């Protein structure tokens, strides 16, 4: 796993609560909702133009400018200024995941022709929230700053009634990882993460392949969401869902559904055009 913790910051819970209360009343974007299985959402705090309407991420070379929402969050601004090099920030977003939602396993940057150093500063979380990368599952703890290798297949989910909120910062891609997180405590005390997921069994596999009896255009997205969440609970690679989906559609024998499965795998894992949106 190349994703790793970079350090820990001491959060001021009172001031953080003030900004989280503002966010709770703010409008989150529906951009990238094709990546969401349930309520996985984000809002922009800094972007290229400083305009709230600029919601899509592109690779650019100028220091990110605070949006009106970003300007209204004094503590989060202070965290950005204290722990990152302002000139190297390209985007800052809040990503919130609500109960029983996740982002579909995917790879980033496929459409961008470049990369960022993507870091997460964890604002609000609990033990029922997890991130995943290929075969691995891990929990990012409150106050921790993590580098996330978003070019690998990954996902994140929340399975508690309390939503999870991360401050996600995209840093100029040429910056060395060692200089990305500033004024942080090193995290030598962090316990190694234990994978408590269940073993995957043939019985479990056959049960989901049984969706081939009922899959249709009408329930496709719901079945995709079920497949997308399984790796949070069973020891499988987070990208395995695309193989299962293709097999379900093959067994169904419907060419349109098979084509849709191939197209989902291409879009989320292999190749996307700039600005392309997936509908299914």
Ligand X SMILES: O=C(O)CCC(=O)C(=O)O
Ramachandran assignment for 134, one of left (phi > 0), alpha (psi -120 to 50 degrees), beta (any other)? left
SS3 annotation, 50-88: CCCCCCCCCCCCCCCEECHHHHCCHHHHHHHHHHCCHHH
Minimum distance from residue 140 beta carbon to ligand X (Å) = 8
Minimum distance from residue 267 beta carbon to ligand X (Å) = 15
Minimum CB distance to ligand X smaller for 73 or for 150 = 150
User: By CB under 6 A, is residue 168 in contact with ligand X?
Assistant: yes
Minimum CB distance to ligand X smaller for 88 or for 131 = 131
Other CB atoms within 10 A of residue 35 CB? 19
The residue with its CB nearest to ligand X is 156
Minimum distance from residue 133 beta carbon to ligand X (Å) = 10
Minimum CB distance to ligand X smaller for 148 or for 184 = 148
**Which residue, chain included where needed, has tokens 């940057």?**
109
Minimum CB distance to ligand X smaller for 159 or for 211 = 159
CA distance 229 to 46: 30
User: By CB under 6 A, is residue 103 in contact with ligand X?
Assistant: yes
Minimum CB distance to ligand X smaller for 83 or for 118 = 118
User: By CB under 6 A, is residue 150 in contact with ligand X?
Assistant: yes
User: By CB under 6 A, is residue 90 in contact with ligand X?
Assistant: no
User: By CB under 6 A, is residue 153 in contact with ligand X?
Assistant: no
End-to-end CA distance of the chain: 31
User: By CB under 6 A, is residue 154 in contact with ligand X?
Assistant: yes
Q: Which range binds ligand X by CB under 6 A, 47-55, 67-75, 147-155, 252-260? A: 147-155
CA 162 from centre of chain: 17
Site string for ligand X, 111-140 (x = CB under 6 A): -------x------------x---------
Contact 70, 45 (CB under 8 A): yes
User: By CB under 6 A, is residue 97 in contact with ligand X?
Assistant: yes
CA distance 166 to 33: 17
Site size for ligand X (CB under 6 A): 12
**Which residue, chain included where needed, has tokens 């202070």?**
78
User: By CB under 6 A, is residue 110 in contact with ligand X?
Assistant: no
According to CB under 6 A, which one of 156, 180, 227, 257 is a site residue for ligand X?
Answer: 156
User: By CB under 6 A, is residue 95 in contact with ligand X?
Assistant: yes
With 0-12 / 13-18 / 19 or more C-beta atoms within 10 angstroms meaning exposed / middle / buried, residue 129 is buried
Minimum distance from residue 264 beta carbon to ligand X (Å) = 16
Q: Which two tokens stand for residue 195?
A: 């994978």
CA distance 143 to 147: 13
CA 150 from centre of chain: 9
According to CB under 6 A, which one of 41, 108, 124, 240 is a site residue for ligand X?
Answer: 108
Measured over the CA atoms of residue 22, residue 184, residue 136 and residue 273, the dihedral's sign is positive
Residues that bind ligand X (CB under 6 A): 95, 97, 103, 108, 118, 131, 148, 150, 154, 156, 166, 168
């Amino acid at each position: 796993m190349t994703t790793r913790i970079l350090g820990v910051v001491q959060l001021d819970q009172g001031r953080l609560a003030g900004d989280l209360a503002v966010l709770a009343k703010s409008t989150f974007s529906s951009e990238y909702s094709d990546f969401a299985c349930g309520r996985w959402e984000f809002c922009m705090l800094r972007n290229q133009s400083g305009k709230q309407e600029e919601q899509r991420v592109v690779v650019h070379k100028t220091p990110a400018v605070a949006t009106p929402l970003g300007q209204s969050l004094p503590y989060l601004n202070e965290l950005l200024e204290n722990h990152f090099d302002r000139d190297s920030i390209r985007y800052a977003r809040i990503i919130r995941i609500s109960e029983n939602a996740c982002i579909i396993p995917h790879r980033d940057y496929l459409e961008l022709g470049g990369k960022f150093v993507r870091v997460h500063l964890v604002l609000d979380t609990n033990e029922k929230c997890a991130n995943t990368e290929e075969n691995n599952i891990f929990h990012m703890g409150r106050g921790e700053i993590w580098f996330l290798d978003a070019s690998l297949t990954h996902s994140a989910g929340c399975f508690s009634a309390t939503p999870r909120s991360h401050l996600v910062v995209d840093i100029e891609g040429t910056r060395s990882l060692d200089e990305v997180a500033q004024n942080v405590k090193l995290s030598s005390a962090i316990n190694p993460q234990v994978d408590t997921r269940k073993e995957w069994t043939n019985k479990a596999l056959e049960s989901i392949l049984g969706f081939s009896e009922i899959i249709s255009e009408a329930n496709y997205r719901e079945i995709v969401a079920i497949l997308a969440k399984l790796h949070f609970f069973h020891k499988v690679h987070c990208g395995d869902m695309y193989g299962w989906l293709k097999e379900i559609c093959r067994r169904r024998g419907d060419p349109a559904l098979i084509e849709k499965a191939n197209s989902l795998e291409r879009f989320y894992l292999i190749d996307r055009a700039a600005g392309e949106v997936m509908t299914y």
